[in-house]
Amino acid sequence: MDKRRMVAVLCTLALAIGCLAGTQAVQAKTAFQDASSGALHVEGTILCDADGKVVQLRGVSTHGLSWYPEYVNDKCFKELHDKWGANVVRLAMYTEEYNGYCSGDAANRKSLKKLVKKGVQLAAKYDMYVIVDWHILSDGNPKTHKKAAKAFFKDMSKSLADYDNVLYEICNEPNGGTTWKDIKSYANDIIPAIRANDEDAVIIVGTPTWSQEVDKAAASPLKYENVMYALHFYADTHQDSLRKTAENAIKAGLPIFVSEFGICDASGNGNVNKTQANKWIKLLDKYHVSYVGWNLSNKSESSAMIANSCNKTSGFKRSELSTAGKWMYDMLRKRAGKA
């Protein structure tokens, strides 16, 4: 190669590297929009801030608040934001399972509400969005506890009205033959109760069959603004066909929100499938869909992010995370421009 050609090649190379670095910086900046961006709203299929800038939420869900309340603490939330690069935390409050909001007594309800408020305050303190999740599961149909749900969301939206980092998830995973019609009628009752106190909070609505049938919602969406529809997946169980359903719903204009996913099988345990997990993340990033990983605990199950042998509730070293936890940590940090 003559000298002139060599110089030209080197210049092109330098330019390409410069551009690449520049693009990465811009991507990192737009990718990590934390709650300092203020209140969110839905535009088409996408979440935006007040300036119309795309905000993609990525973060983690607690395990059931009645089982693992200890992770809702100041140091842990700071670490999730500063070190993990999470811009959202989901507070999973079971309704029917062990000490659930509806299965437990009045003292339990009081302490759960207190814990949810603490979670919202800590999330706000560390610039994270936060999802208040009415975690129905074995109760199957959200109508089972509709009265309690309405009272809960009325009360919560009133006391949290000044926080613009809150999103409400009104029914985790309808199942057991619950139809989209059932869910719509429930949502049409609960949404106005929230809107009465907080007229524009983003509300996430579960979909039939453990929040998988977003196609049903796409065919007949709710009539409210700032509503998104839950799609949940567990990567070792749900693969191409559910990804297709998700993509079709997005193409049909449905704003979907992956408010819970795991990279193991649907039981929350079993094999960790990184190949399928990466396929999911690639698809969700392509459409700026937000996603929240299950779960922040050290339970002996593969979806738990903290190693079973680690009893800390903050200050986790990477080596103290489970296989799924390490994957989640690396994935979040990379997307937040921290790794």
Binding residues for ligand IDC (CB under 6 A): 97, 137, 172-173, 210, 232, 234, 260, 266-268, 294-295, 299, 301, 303
CA dihedral for 236, 238, 241, 244, sign (positive or negative): negative
Closer CB to ligand IDC, residue 234 or residue 316? 234
Q: Which of 207, 138, 142, 130 is nearest to 167 (CA)?
A: 130
The reply to whether 225 belongs to the active site is no
**CB of 268 vs ligand IDC, minimal distance in Å:** 3
Determine which one of 169, 213, 260, 301 is catalytic: 260
* First-last CA distance in the chain: 38
Q: Report helix, strand or coil for 174.
A: coil
- Decide: helix, strand or coil at residue 197: coil
Contact 57, 290 (CB under 8 A): yes
Least spacing, CB of residue 136 vs ligand IDC, in Å: 9
Catalytic residue among 173, 225, 247, 320: 173
Least distance from ligand IDC to the Cβ atom of residue 115, Å: 17
How many other C-beta atoms can be found within 10 angstroms of the C-beta atom of residue 56?
20
Q: At what angle do helices 106-125 and 146-159 cross, to 10 degrees?
A: 40
Cβ distance to ligand IDC smaller for residue 80 or 137 = 137
3-state secondary structure of 259: strand
C-alpha gyration radius of the chain: 21
**What is the H or E stretch that residue 233 is in?**
strand 227-234
**Tokens 């609505």 appear where?**
205
Q: Which residue is closest to ligand IDC by CB?
A: 268
- Least distance between ligand IDC and beta carbon 64 (Å): 7
Give which of 182, 195, 196, 110 is closest to 139, Cα–Cα. Answer: 182
Shortest approach of ligand IDC to residue 266 CB, angstroms? 5
301 is a catalytic site residue: no
Residue with smaller CB distance to ligand IDC, 12 or 267: 267
Element (H, E) at 41: strand 41-43
Smaller CB distance to ligand IDC: residue 294 or 329? 294
Active site (catalytic) residues:
173, 260
